[in-house]
Amino acid sequence: MLMLFILVPLLFGGIELARGVGIRHSLDSGVGVAARALSLDPSQWSWSVSVINQAITDNPLGGGSVSAVTVKVYNAGGSEISSSTLASLPFGAAFRLQASVTYTPEITLVGGTTVTIRVSHWGIVERFP
């Protein structure tokens, strides 16, 4: 019985850890693709957000208890800017795309605490002029 109380949380904790790592990896890939797309054409905001959402939905370990994705963009100075401001950034301007989700692991006999997974990628506007 003692072994079960230790081994079961270890087993399910491992699975939930792998799921969390999978979500982070998917989010990382999605934000990377979105930042690259916005570098080439900063007006592709809605497409970029859908790419990030799709990356999370297609996570092979399943969505589980993952919240909707929140996407924000910041300028080189670290201030949050709107998608329309991003679309008007000049050639060579740097921006940071940040996406976050909350994830609640479900570990048998233990439960789980909600964690926020946050990923950001930098981009540099390459559209000219």
Partner 1 sequence: MSCRYVALVLYLSEWLDFQRLFPEAAKYLRMKIAPGATDVDNLVKELAARPAENTKSRFFGDKQRGQVAVLAALLIMLFVLLAAGLVDGYLLLEARNWGYQAAQQAALAGVSQGRDWGSLASPPCAGGPAPIRLDASAAQKAATSLLQQEMSMRGIVDFTSDVRVLPDYEGGSISGYPPAAVRLGAGRGNWSSNEPSMGVYFSFPVSTFLLSFVGRPTVQVSVFASAGVHQPDGACKP
Token pair 């994705």 is found at 69
Q: Which residues pair with 71 in a beta bridge?
A: 99
The size of the interface with partner 1 (CB under 8 A), counted in residues, is 18
Quote the least distance from Cβ 92 to partner 1, whole Å.
6
- Over the window 72 to 91, marking each residue x when it contacts partner 1 by CB under 8 A and - when it does not, the resulting string is ----x-x-------------
Quote the least distance from Cβ 32 to partner 1, whole Å.
9
- Which of 87, 94, 110, 115 forms a contact with partner 1 (CB under 8 A)? 94
Q: Work out whether 36 is an interface residue with partner 1 (CB under 8 A).
A: no
Q: Which positions ≥6 away from 74 have C-beta within 8 Å?
A: 80, 81, 95, 96, 98
Between residues 31 and 56, which has the closer beta carbon with respect to partner 1?
Answer: 31
Which pair of tokens denotes residue 68?
Answer: 């909707």
Q: Is 105 helix (H, G, I), strand (E, B) or coil?
A: coil
- CA atoms in the 13 A half-sphere facing the CB of 126: 8
Quote the least distance from Cβ 21 to partner 1, whole Å.
7
